[in-house]
């Protein structure tokens, strides 16, 4: 599956400051589940207090992966104008009673940007920024993407044709919202893709159909893939056990 450039929700370069996006995946240690109830409750309250504090200045979405993967328990999707507030946020989280028992097995950093392949292509919802109302979806499907170097040697007009085919397939699944983050020089991957939807079956069908597109043969790596269930902060912590 190759979605590089397939964008429905990102700032354009001419529509305001580009934003940082961090997808931070956390795993609770076994010792957390065996702690006394009172100590766990105190640590959880500290953690939730930090989440509430930074919700005033950062855009943070909360997801549980308990039951969907064995190597992570929850994910925070953080959107910020600058890196420093996001750094301070995570630092304070890890200093709480719960945070001291958390590892971060995966973390992906990216920025928003309008895709060069869109051209004059427009459709409703494409330019959704944080100032616009955002639908809350039940699930997010997140993964890093790296393209083969051959892709960048293909003439731009041909790449645009290939991506137009890609867009056409995506339009067959309007219930799936697509967010593309760009990571060139910022992190190990080139893109971070975050799909949002209410029905995992629709995303499964979209991914299967994308396998047949010309763009797919230029994919170098697109794993790990995370299925994340949207939850409120209290539920996210409670599901840790």
For residue 120, the model assigns a pLDDT of: 53
For residues 5-24, average pLDDT: 61
Phi, psi of 222 (to 5 degrees): -145, 35
- pTM for this prediction: 0.87
pLDDT in tens, 57-115: 999 999 999 999 999 999 999 999 999 999 999 999 999 999 999 999 999 999 999 88
For residues 18-33, average pLDDT: 95
For residue 16, the model assigns a pLDDT of: 56
SS3 state at 79? strand
20-110: CATH topology: Alpha-Beta Plaits (3.30.70)
Banded pLDDT at 127 (limits 50, 70, 90): very low
112-228: CATH topology: Alpha-Beta Plaits (3.30.70)
Q: Note if 137 is an active site residue.
A: no
Q: Are 6 and 199 within 8 A, CB to CB? A: no
Cα 226 to the center of its chain, rounded Å: 9
Asked, colleague to colleague, whether 20-110 and 112-228 share their fold, the answer is yes
Residue extents of the structural domains in the chain = 20-110, 112-228
For residue 135, the model assigns a pLDDT of: 79
For residue 182, the model assigns a pLDDT of: 97
Residue among 63, 117, 143, 182 flagged as catalytic:
143
């Amino acid at each position: 599956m190759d979605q590089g450039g397939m964008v429905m929700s990102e700032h354009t370069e001419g529509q305001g400051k580009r934003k940082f996006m961090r997808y931070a995946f956390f795993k609770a240690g076994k010792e957390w589940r065996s702690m006394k109830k009172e100590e766990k409750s105190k640590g959880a309250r500290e953690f939730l207090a930090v989440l509430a504090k930074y919700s005033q200045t950062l855009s943070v979405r909360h997801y549980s992966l308990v039951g969907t993967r064995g190597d992570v328990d929850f994910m925070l999707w953080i959107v910020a104008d600058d890196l420093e507030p996001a750094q301070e946020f995570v630092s304070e989280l890890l200093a709480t009673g719960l945070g001291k028992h958390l590892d971060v097995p995966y973390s992906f950093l990216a920025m928003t940007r309008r895709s060069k392949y869109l051209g004059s292509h427009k459709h409703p919802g494409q330019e959704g920024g944080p100032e616009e109302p955002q639908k809350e979806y039940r699930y997010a499907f997140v993964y890093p993407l790296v393209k083969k170097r051959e892709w960048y040697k293909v003439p731009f007009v041909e790449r645009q044709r290939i991506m137009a085919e890609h867009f056409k397939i995506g339009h067959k699944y309007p219930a799936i919202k697509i967010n593309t983050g760009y990571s060139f020089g910022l992190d190990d991957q080139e893109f971070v893709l975050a799909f949002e939807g209410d029905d995992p079956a629709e995303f499964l069908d979209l991914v299967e159909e994308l396998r047949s597109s010309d763009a797919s043969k230029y994919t170098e790596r697109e794993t790990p893939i995370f299925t994340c269930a949207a939850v409120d902060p209290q539920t996210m912590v409670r599901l840790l056990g």
